[in-house]
Amino acid sequence: MTGTVLHCGYVPLVDCAPLVIAKELGFAAEEGLALNLVRQPSWSALRDMLTLGHLDAAQMLSPMPVAMSIGLGGLNAQIDALMVLSVNGTVFGVSQSLASQIGDVSFGDAKGLLTKIAQVNDKPLRVGVPFHYSMHRLLLSYWTSTAPKLIIEEVTVPPPRMADAVADGFVDAFWVGEPWGSVAVQRGVARLMMSGGDVWQFAPEKVLAARRDWIEANSDTARKLMRAVYQAAQWLDAKKNKPLAVEILGRSEHLSLSPDLIDPALTGHIAPSADENPMQVDRFVQFHKHAASFPWRSQAAWIAHQLGADAADVEKAKTCFRSDLYRQNLVGIGADMPGASQKIEGSLRFETAVASSRGHMILAPDAFFDGRTFDFSAEKG
């Protein structure tokens, strides 16, 4: 490897794909970067290594930089999201015993499922999530807050152990990123009930993060990294490239899993249980299309709002989603830029054409399951 060495942390999940592809298919090398991907054992460890300067950049759960910006969740450091690495890509599943109590609810019916769970459950529901400051947990809280009688006990479980946790009865349900939902299904210990997109159709899931002072001191390297990852994401969203992507991700140095566990997420063919046929979930995980990698200020605002931030902190949170750098650094490689950096989250029910620098941007639906909308633009100043 030649070029500027860049140490980038990641957690082995399907949605680390843009980083792995940027390295393996040479997008990083073309930019003059020697991308060194460093696997991390936990999100806390990744956060600490990034904060302490042992990593230059890292894949992060989208709420992590937001939480840190407003003084939550561990070490004090200003971490920024350079771009969104992936949208959606998580599943909610239940144990076999809860599944049989719930009975027949069609996959993806967030409202119907919640009503059923609230009916059959008279004790607190223990739900496994990977990390406290994760989109999984925020979506879980948002979804279940509409059923005030249902008490949720949040349990943090490392994703590779989610299947065991539900098999042992340690949790009744889980919200996890692929491939770990499909792993639980293949082991016959859980039934998937919906995807994250059924609660929020366009939820920023992972971001590419770096320390603000590092970005300032290494603006050229940051630009190279963003360009490489942008191109990898573009490559990943092309249907014809999926088989190769599945093969590369499965390799031992990355996820080290068989291709049939990685394929469901990338193709959107999700099997809810071991004896059901896979169903097609649109935009199960999105890397590039519909401006997926654009870090909307309003997405950071929604996250901060869910974390209980006041108006001042919501404004502060917005500044850590660097749509300014995205515009500045990616315009040169033909990225289409939306006219605005904020949108009313939840307002798009259909694919919608919007004003953009190249004039043809189509945004995907971003509605919430309960139809609420969030406009944070009024809170300026």
Partner 1 sequence: MSENLRILVVEADPAKVRDIVDALNAAGWSDVKALGQISALDRTVREFAPDIVLIDLANPDRDTLEHISYVTQTEKRAVALFVDQTDDNLTKAALNAGVSAYVVDGLTMHRIKPVLETAIARFQIMRQMQSELDAAKQALEDRKTIDRAKGILMRQRGLSEDDAYNLLRKTAMSQGRKVIDVAHALVTAADLLS
Q: Specify the residue, 51 or 234, whose C-beta has the smaller distance to partner 1.
A: 51
**Please, what sign has the CA dihedral across residues 147, 150, 151, 154?**
negative
d(CA 44, CA 23): 24
Q: Note whether 344 and 378 are within 8 A (CB).
A: no
Least distance from partner 1 to the Cβ atom of residue 128, Å:
10
Of 364, 358, 302, 366, nearest to 330 (Cα)?
A: 358
Least distance from partner 1 to the Cβ atom of residue 281, Å:
27
d(CA 228, CA 155): 36
**For residue 206, with 0-12 CB atoms within 10 Å meaning exposed, 13-18 middle and 19 or more buried, which class applies?**
buried
The amino acid at 312? A
Which residues would be at the binding site for partner 1 (CB under 8 A)? 41-45, 48, 51-54, 74-77, 130-132, 154-158, 160-161, 165, 168, 170
Q: Specify the residue, 130 or 295, whose C-beta has the smaller distance to partner 1.
A: 130
In 3-state terms, what secondary structure has residue 91? strand
Q: Specify the residue, 47 or 227, whose C-beta has the smaller distance to partner 1.
A: 47
Least distance from partner 1 to the Cβ atom of residue 44, Å:
5
Q: Specify the residue, 110 or 309, whose C-beta has the smaller distance to partner 1.
A: 309
Pairing of strands 79-88, 204-211: antiparallel
DSSP string of 299-348? HHHHHHHHTT--HHHHHHHHTTB-HHHHHHHHGGGT---BS-S---BT--
Of 323, 331, 334, 320, nearest to 294 (Cα)?
A: 323
Q: Specify the residue, 156 or 356, whose C-beta has the smaller distance to partner 1.
A: 156
d(CA 45, CA 29): 27
Least distance from partner 1 to the Cβ atom of residue 181, Å:
18
Least distance from partner 1 to the Cβ atom of residue 40, Å:
9
Q: Specify the residue, 133 or 200, whose C-beta has the smaller distance to partner 1.
A: 133
Crossing angle of helices 297-306/311-318, nearest 10°? 140
Least distance from partner 1 to the Cβ atom of residue 286, Å:
25
Least distance from partner 1 to the Cβ atom of residue 43, Å:
5
Least distance from partner 1 to the Cβ atom of residue 250, Å:
20
